[in-house]
A and B are shown apart, each in its own frame.
Chain A
Amino acid sequence: MITILQGTADLAYIFGFALFGAFAAFLWAPLLSALLRRLNIMKRAKTELVTLGSHAYKATTPVMGGLLVVVTVALITFFFNWNRSFTWVPIGVMIISAALGAIDDLMNIYGAERRSRKLDHHLRLIRVHKELTMRLWYVVSLPWAAFKRMSVWFGSRSSRGVFVHEKLVLQFIAGTLTAWWIYAKLGPAWHYIYFPYGYSFNAGVWIVPIIVFIVMFTANAVNIADGMDGLAGGALIITFSALSLLSWINGFGEVAILNATAVGALTAYTYFNIKPARFMMGDVGSLGLGALLAVNAMAIGETTALFFLGFIFYVEALSVVIQVASKYLFGRKVFRMAPLHHHFELAGWSEERTVMRFWIIHFIFVVFGFYLALH
């Protein structure tokens, strides 16, 4: 277990930042809500039918409410907790991921319909385009075109937002930045993956792809879980609270303060996100906070505990992976609908019941992750 430690902070001081984060976020939340409404940053209903029934109000609920947390955390950290060793990379990664999410949110609202050319079409253009330069361009861009079509394999259809392949590239950059920081800057102790009861494994340079994968997967997992009012916000409060305490126990004062600030800001966000939501998190919040969660957990050497600390997010993401795999391989669904929260919604659970039960299950597993991390 990594136990360095510089800059340890008093627990009361950490709690103070949680309160400060909540206070600051509560203060400007009405402003953000009004601004999002004024700019008409609302989700477009995909069909006329979804504007009917119990979900009708969601068509007029602003998105990008995650800005409340991302901006609050970034500003408080910048002004009161800026530490070159332990806070600027997590904040940088959070901002890169949040920026990607913001682009996606805005393109979904203001962007034009984007189409992805089929690979057969691309290959045909290589053969038949009248201009040689264009034919050469199509040859050169063939690998990218093939990569681009991956988005269709993931079930993504033409839309207004950022394509899956574009998201993956940008998330890869965020993941690589984290990996570089952890591998090159934090020191050899971070080349190890620590298991409970004192076991460890020296991954060496392989820690780099592992970190990249964890950052990308966690960011997307939180994004996937953000499908019901209050679900992602409430679960993130539990997760960041545990992470803050673990950071403090392991002696990472700055990271503990950063996590506590996130808890405070998330509390304000969740207050407004409880059904019926005043605003929704959007990709700007879910991708940014997902990346922050992964970076902070790995920075304090709790990579293995991360699965339990982010339990509900990973379960939701895995439900999508299982559903897509089953659909492709067997032509059958495992769940009535993925992500998992929709499965229960289809089974007749109300949104409130699903969200609260998910919080409770998540809390139990976070406590288990906390318990493991202490051993």
Chain B
Amino acid sequence: MNTKTLSKRALSVIDQYLHFTFGSAVCSVPYFNNKTVRARASLRAEIGKGSPKDIFEEVETVAVKNHIDQTALSDGSLKKLLVESDIGVDCSAFAFYALNAESQETGKGSLDKHMHFVNCRGFAGKIMCALRPVENCDVATMADDKNSTAIPLEEIRPGDVITMTGGPERDERNHILVIHQVEYQNFTPYIAHYSHAAAYPEDGLYNTGIRQGTIEIPEAGKPLTEAHWSENIAAGAPNRILERARSSKTEVRRLRWF
């Protein structure tokens, strides 16, 4: 059995979200989707589109503004500070930064150079996308055929994404997972490890954030939704991500330039 992973740089980005460190406190960056507050023209870190560095700088500002002693922060109070300051990340921004690091590390340049921003129309829209690429790179953009192609599950490899578009609810948000590691058995993918930013109903206010899980790849020809998905969730809790995968159009996709 052998294993393939994303580059160290991309894994480091994921780790910085997963183990966000400020002073001596560590927590996972909470999930934040701007659709809940609809802030316009705000800082990236305040609308769920911040990189780990953006988030760190914003937390630093909030801490100094409120005279919070960095060394006295516990893991729980750091998470609380992030949540109450509306600082977090959404699934597409998380995927963007992880894949951007991978793209740069493999010499393909930054993601926004390759990406077709399908939501940006007209001259003003194009300028907007050029100025704020992360904010305009949603799941629909990454899942668009201009940017990525659907691939069979047997060909899955690190750097691929699993997109979940549409859903039973009319205003269901799209979702995206990043495959950061794949285990092979006899040269065929056996287990795929994914990372994503998510908020489940059971999480309450303070337990949302970056999560990791695995998918045991089923035999060839079987759909992804019949695979065994496991994530670090409480015993007895519903497997939300699998439920979501089953209720949406779920595909494994690969960015065209990957």
Residues on A close to B: CB < 8 A?
47, 49-50, 52-55, 327-333, 336-337, 345-346
Contacts and interface: CB of A to CB of B under 8 A. Distances in A.
B47 A333 contact: no
A331 B61 contact: no
A332 B51 CA distance: 11
Interface of B: 41-44, 47, 49, 54, 57, 60-61, 64-68, 131-132, 134-135
B66 A337 contact: no
B136 to A, nearest CB: 11
A50 B44 contact: no
A55 B64 CA distance: 11
Contacts of B49: 331
Contacts of A50: 65-67
Contacts of A337: 61, 64-65
Contacts of A53: 67
A331 B61 CA distance: 15
A346 B61 CA distance: 7
A55 B67 contact: yes
A56 to B, nearest CB: 8
B60 A331 contact: no
Contacts of B41: 327-328, 331
11 contacts: A47-B66, A50-B67, A328-B41, A329-B131, A331-B41, A331-B43, A331-B44, A331-B49, A336-B57, A336-B61, A337-B64
Q: Top 6 closest A-B pairs, CB basis?
A: A53-B67, A49-B66, A331-B44, A328-B41, A346-B64, A52-B67
Nearest to A53: B67
A320 to B, nearest CB: 15
A153 B132 CA distance: 18
Which of A47, A54, A346 is packed against the most chain B CB atoms within 10 Å?
A346
Contact of B132 (A331, A333, A345, A346): A331
A327 B134 CA distance: 14
A50 B63 CA distance: 11
B42 A332 contact: no
B134 to A, nearest CB: 8
B67 A54 contact: yes
Contacts of B57: 333, 336
A55 B65 CA distance: 10
A208 B131 CA distance: 36
Contact of A336 (B44, B54, B60, B66): B60
B43 A333 contact: yes
A49 to B, nearest CB: 4
A46 B76 CA distance: 24
Contacts of A333: 43, 57
A141 to B, nearest CB: 23
A47 B54 CA distance: 24
Contacts of A327: 41-43
Contacts of A52: 66-67
Contacts of B54: 332
A346 B56 CA distance: 13
Contacts of B67: 49-50, 52-55
B44 A345 contact: no
A331 B135 contact: yes
Nearest to B49: A331
Nearest to B132: A331
B10 to A, nearest CB: 22
A346 B59 CA distance: 12
Contacts of B47: 331
A343 to B, nearest CB: 10
A374 to B, nearest CB: 43
B56 to A, nearest CB: 11
Contacts of B68: 49
A333 B65 CA distance: 16
Contacts of A54: 67
B43 A345 contact: no
A326 to B, nearest CB: 9
A345 B131 contact: no
A325 to B, nearest CB: 10
A124 B17 CA distance: 42
A212 B94 CA distance: 47
B80 to A, nearest CB: 13
Contacts of A336: 57, 60-61
A337 B65 CA distance: 9
Given A336-B57, A346-B61, A331 B66 contact: no
A47 B66 CA distance: 8
